[in-house]
Structure 1
């Protein structure tokens, strides 16, 4: 089982913990992959450590990512700048895999139609019982879309290996008008919205259609040949 997260000592530690838990790995798993002691993985996660380049390369490989991603070098760069990979192909995802990739929380985008045209908004989301939940401000465009059909999209892009996936949900979004129910949903959320805690208007998307696609690169780590 993955080790329970502890307060990380710096940005590097937080990124390592987040990626390790995303992969479902324990510190022992990462240590074995990276050829390091579990205690050192714990130290790097929880202290403001400055490991050498050699260890970072092994750690990035163990976590199926890049040193640039772990150190935050790509945070402000546009996604998908890498060139197309050799032998890449597009694969359709079934509904079960779409839900697996969405996980139980993350950041995605909602697309809705307004009076002056379509708009796409980033949102923090939660997944519960086959529905996607957002919190927004009462006067936001998303709040005004109550009882209308919207699209929700989430994705992941791996620039290092020119691969990634995207999941699209389409359905009607509803405002949670019962304050007690809304409170329970807010309290069950992984975290408050990145844009600010004042976004307490809870919206629920019940999708009628779920589709997904993945770019498969046989030569990339984690892919079959």
Structure 2
């Protein structure tokens, strides 16, 4: 295959097709980056702006999205204004789908009872051996918890395409063991400044998820 840089079809149409296929499979940008070896920035560029693909990149995206190159680059059905848009459909997700989305890691939200009110804060996390692990300051309220109830939430939305999903995990939070710290140390790095050396683990009891589609 010719690996010279080439523009494939109409860039905006192909970018839309790649994005719709990815979302339809429930894959994140991080998933596609891992499957193809391309950077996340490159995937975002392909999905959102005019671009030129090499033959190798096209083959990598085709394999990652489990679709033939012909189907991926073939004629794109025009969206006729005469046909009314499909009403968004809300679908429940199985536990396996929820876990797959969480496995990518990144930024989620935890919800727990503070001293006087319910607290909801974003956290960097990793998913390790069935545990959701995050780091926090040693003097934070949640750092003092040991087998206390907690909720974890992760979501994605695209306002333009009116699609998205949300995963909610209920479980108990506790300090991690020294062995768990050794494994998780390089996998979860808080973006916020300051010292956050208290590693906490969420033991999931229940996974629920919903996905909204517009096609």
TM-score using structure 2 length: 0.62
Check 1:160–1:195 CA distance in 2 against 1; reply closer, same or farther (3 A cut): same
Match of 2:208 in 1: 211
Instruction: Write out per-residue CA displacement over residues 103-155 of structure 1, whole angstroms, 9 at most, x where no aligned residue.
Output: 23110000001221101010001001211001111011221233200000000
Given candidates 9, 13, 22, the residue that maps to 2:31 is: 22
Shift of 1:162: 1.2
Given the alignment of the two structures, is residue 163 of structure 1 paired with residue 163 of structure 2, yes or no?
Answer: yes
Check 1:145–1:88 CA distance in 2 against 1; reply closer, same or farther (3 A cut): same
Instruction: Write out per-residue CA displacement over residues 72-120 of structure 1, whole angstroms, 9 at most, x where no aligned residue.
Output: xxxxxxxxxxxxx742110000000001111231100000012211010
1:20 touches 1:26 (CA, 8 Å); kept in 2? no
Instruction: Name the count of aligned residue pairs.
Output: 155
Given candidates 36, 52, 59, the residue that maps to 2:53 is: 36
Check 1:101–1:20 CA distance in 2 against 1; reply closer, same or farther (3 A cut): closer
Structure 2's unaligned 5+ residue stretches are 1-27, 59-71, 74-84
C-alpha distance in structure 2 between counterparts of 1:139 and 1:147, whole Å: 17
C-alpha distance in structure 2 between counterparts of 1:165 and 1:106, whole Å: 15
Match of 1:185 in 2: 184
Partner secondary structure for residue 194 of structure 1: coil
Shift of 1:183: 3.6
TM-score using structure 1 length: 0.60
Cα-Cα RMSD: 3.2
Structure 1's unaligned 5+ residue stretches are 1-18, 42-60, 63-84, 219-225
Shift of 1:37: 2.2
